[in-house]
A and B are shown apart, each in its own frame.
Chain A
Amino acid sequence: MPIRPPAVEAVDLVKTYPGGRGRPDVRALDGLTLTVPAGTVHGLLGPNGAGKSTTTKILTTLSRATSGTARVVGQDVVVDADAVRRSIGYVSQGTGADPLLSPRENLVMAARLRGSSRSAAADRAAALVDRFGLGDAGDRRTGGLSGGTRRKLDVALGLVDAPRVLFLDEPTTGLDPEARASMWDEIRRLAGEDALTVLLTTHYLEEADRLADGLSIVDRGRVVVAGTPDELKATLVGDTLTVDLVEPDADAVRAAVARVLTDVVVHVEGPTGRLVARTPDGPAVVGATIAALQAAGVRHGAVAVSRPTLDDVYLRYAGRSWSDSSPARPTGSSTDRSASAAPARTTSGASGGRSTSGSSAVPAGRDTDGASAADGRDAREVTR
């Protein structure tokens, strides 16, 4: 098999927007370099405002870089813009569909604009309606359809001319969990198709982790690190050990595990708490940790060992926590959270941690206090 050129090659892209009214220019891209091998799903991962959409707009010929060059399927996005347009599909953050037309009519129009004959356009629309399970919705007005269905139509519109590269700009933002799962299935299915390259932007860590073969983490207009999700995670040594605690005394907990674990943070939130530790080999220290806690009479709940997540990767390479850089919910990552939330409680909770019973139920009413921290992982996904 001949070696195919990369589907996307961007070198040193810079994009500045005028600030207006005497304000300084906004530098949306600051020397972004990116290579996407043909036939892969590549994720551009970063918080809002990192430059993901701007990159997509330049690669799809919608916008022009201030400096730098970009090629898509070997064609320059400025010089050969028309050739690029013929080879790509673009699903923007907005909808690409006319709300007054039905999905089928939208698809036919898109195909006709790209030069299909009337019958070929109708066939293509029928195939896409079928394939995306639009079924009955296919002939209703698009404006009245659910968000998930409309988003599927957007992707179908991107595929109307059998593109070689499909750009998906935040395809699941604003979708409910069910619609998101369904969209992920579609994207995975696309990824399996011969010769299709998908460039996906997202600010969902989980989405990037599940869908992307390759990842570029974008922050402040630059790619800070690139690799496969596993490669990126592998650059972080060790595991995270998490133990849920009941009415803990932070100092007592720390003292109890001092011989087993070195890098420990204890986080107390009302009647519950959590011990989070970084350790070179998680499974090996689980037993010793539990034993140490029980010997000291610390009540505990679930124990978990996890491999590093992309959140940890992001923290390391972008130099700050994922959630800190996302504007909506200032929920800290596991390490930040304990650092900021723990001190207020550790001194006052001294009387609570000496009970010897193994586990007592946490009062249901007071549990909500700790819920915001416990849900941190979910909360990160709701950033818009």
Chain B
Amino acid sequence: MTATLTPTRTVAPVARRASWFAQTGEVCRRWVVDTVRQPWGLGVSVLQPLVWIVLFGNVFESVATVPGFGADDYLTFLVPGILMMTVLYSGAWAGTGFIDDIRSGVMDRLLTSPVHRSALVVGQLVQQLLLTAVQGVIVLAIAWAAGARFDGGVVGLAVALGASLLLAASFCSLSAAVALLARDQTALIGISTTIVLPATFVSTALMPPALLPAWVESAARFNPLTWATEVARTAMSTDVDWTLVGTRSALLAVLAVLVAAWSVAAMRTYQRSL
């Protein structure tokens, strides 16, 4: 029994330490519970792609008839782009949890506990990826209900979701790193939206490369949003370009690892600033 408080001290916490995986799991669990208990955030993140599908799908419907578009149905073309946009717009908020923790004092308590700094960052990232996966499934379901058809089948959908997770890993880590360095909600949202909107339009998310102005088309090639969209688009088509899937996924994975490492470093930078 550990109901009494003092005797446990002699059993001493000396050798005992939670494994990195257990800590990461616990951190992740906490954020999942937090997310579920804020239904507004979850609701909005589902509502957003719904609005996009309806809005873009209708406004730009005739684009598919423009010579050189290369696809018959704009909605089907649009879905991978909407999927990746959802990742960006909801991932922009990923760092706000850290800012709340810094302000409230939760961060101070965690940092004075024997907890791996990387577990604090990675645990939250895993929660963000879970959230992304749930959102992705919902986006695809809404799109299907709206009339989009996925010729790539289950494999195509899985690859598309995988690409969205790789993109989310980069972008959520970016948001976390900025949050830990700026420590200010307004700065974080300002920086995020400044990145997100241009990133959306300087990409092939909404428009095929052939219809983009030349300079936008060249810039879009270096945009991770383009990489992820291309992977999803080809995987969900009848004629899958596996080389494209492989190269772009590799680029996304390398980027994700680099930015995630930066966010862990940002956690240490934060502590050094105290």
Cα–Cα, bound, A120→B113 (Å): 18
* Cross-chain contact B106 with A93 (CB below 8 angstroms): no
Chain A residues contacting B269 (CB-CB under 8 Å) are: none
Task: Tell me the residues in window 17-53 of chain B with beta carbons closer than 8 Å to chain A beta carbons.
Answer: 17-18, 22-23, 26-27, 29-30, 33-34, 37-38
B3 at the interface (CB under 8 A from A): yes
Give A118-153 as 1s and 0s: 1 = Cβ < 8 Å from B's Cβ atoms. 001001101110110000000001000000000000
For B103, the closest partner residue in chain A by CB is A94
Q: In the assembly, what is the distance between CA of A130 and CA of B9, in Å?
A: 18
Query: Which chain A residues border B33 with CB–CB below 8 Å?
Result: 100-101, 105
CA distance A96 to B114 in the complex (A): 15
How far is B2's CA from A162's CA once the two chains are assembled, in angstroms? 11
In the complex, whether B243 has a CB less than 8 A from a CB of chain A is no
- Give the distance in Å from the alpha carbon of A193 to the alpha carbon of B38 in the complex: 40
Please report the C-alpha to C-alpha distance between residue A115 and residue B29 in the assembled complex, in whole angstroms.
15
Question: Is there an interface contact between B274 and A113, defined as CB atoms closer than 8 Å?
Answer: no
From A101, A114, A127, contact of B34 by CB (8 A): A101
CA distance A98 to B124 in the complex (A): 14
Segment touching B, from A56-64, A246-254, A256-264? A56-64
B138 to chain A, nearest CB (A): 22
B101 CB to nearest chain A CB (Å): 8
Partner among B17, B30, B272 whose Cβ is within 8 Å of the Cβ of A86: B17
Query: In the complex, what distance in Å separates the CA atom of A113 from the CA atom of B105?
Result: 17
A90–B109 touching, CB < 8 Å: yes
A98 to B11, CA, bound (A): 28
Taking a contact as CB atoms under 8 Å apart, the answer to whether B113 and A112 are in contact is: no
Q: Are B34 and A100 in contact (CB under 8 A)?
A: yes
Given contacts A115-B13, A162-B13, contact A85 B5 (CB under 8 A): no
**Cα of A263 to Cα of B160 in the assembled complex, Å:** 87
B112 x A90 contact (CB < 8 A): yes
B38: which A residues are within 8 A, CB to CB? 100
The reply to whether the CB of A360 lies closer than 8 angstroms to some CB of chain B is: no
Residues of B with C-beta under 8 A to A237: none
Indicate whether A110 reaches chain B with its CB closer than 8 angstroms: yes
Which one of B5, B34, B112 has the highest number of Cβ atoms from chain A below 10 Å of its Cβ? Answer: B112
The total of chain B residues at the interface (CB under 8 A) is: 39
Question: What are the residues of chain B within 8 A of A157 when measuring CB–CB?
Answer: 109
Q: Which residue of B lies closest to A124 (CB)?
A: B2
Instruction: Render A192-216 as a binary contact track against B, CB cut-off 8 A, 1 for contact.
Output: 0111100000000000000000000
Task: Please indicate the chain B residues that have their CB under 8 angstroms from the CB of A96 in the complex.
Answer: 105-106, 108-109
- Can you list, as one digit per residue, whether each of A72-88 has a CB less than 8 Å from chain B (1) or not (0)? 00000000001001111
| Contact status of A85 and B114, CB under 8 A, knowing A112-B26, A157-B109, A194-B6 | yes
Q: Is the CB of B274 within 8 A of A63?
A: yes
B159 CB, min distance to chain A CBs, angstroms: 35
Q: B110 contacts A94, CB within 8 Å?
A: no
Interface membership of chain B positions 103-134, coded 1 if the CB is closer than 8 angstroms to chain A and 0 otherwise: 11110111111110000000000000000000
Q: Please name the residue on chain A nearest to B36 by beta carbon.
A: A100
Bound-state Cα–Cα, A61 to B37, Å: 32
Docked CA distance A82–B116 (Å): 10
* Distance between Cα atoms of A130 and B4 in the complex (Å): 10
- Is the CB–CB distance between A112 and B22 below 8 Å? yes
B58 CB–A CB distance under 8 Å: no
Q: What are 18 A-B pairs with beta-carbon distances under 8 A? A: A61-B111, A62-B274, A63-B274, A64-B274, A82-B114, A86-B13, A86-B114, A90-B109, A94-B105, A94-B108, A99-B104, A110-B109, A112-B18, A114-B114, A115-B114, A123-B2, A193-B6, A194-B6
List the interface of chain A (C-beta within 8 A of B).
57, 60-64, 82, 85-88, 90, 92-101, 105, 109-110, 112-116, 120, 123-124, 126-128, 130-131, 141, 157-159, 161-162, 164, 193-196
| Residues of B that sit less than 8 Å from A by CB | 1-6, 8-9, 11, 13-14, 16-18, 22-23, 26-27, 29-30, 33-34, 37-38, 103-106, 108-115, 271-272, 274
8 closest cross-chain pairs (CB), A and B = A94-B105, A96-B109, A115-B18, A63-B274, A90-B112, A85-B114, A162-B9, A92-B108
7 further contact pairs, Cβ within 8 A, besides A100-B37, A114-B18, A127-B5: A57-B108, A92-B109, A96-B106, A100-B33, A113-B110, A127-B4, A196-B9
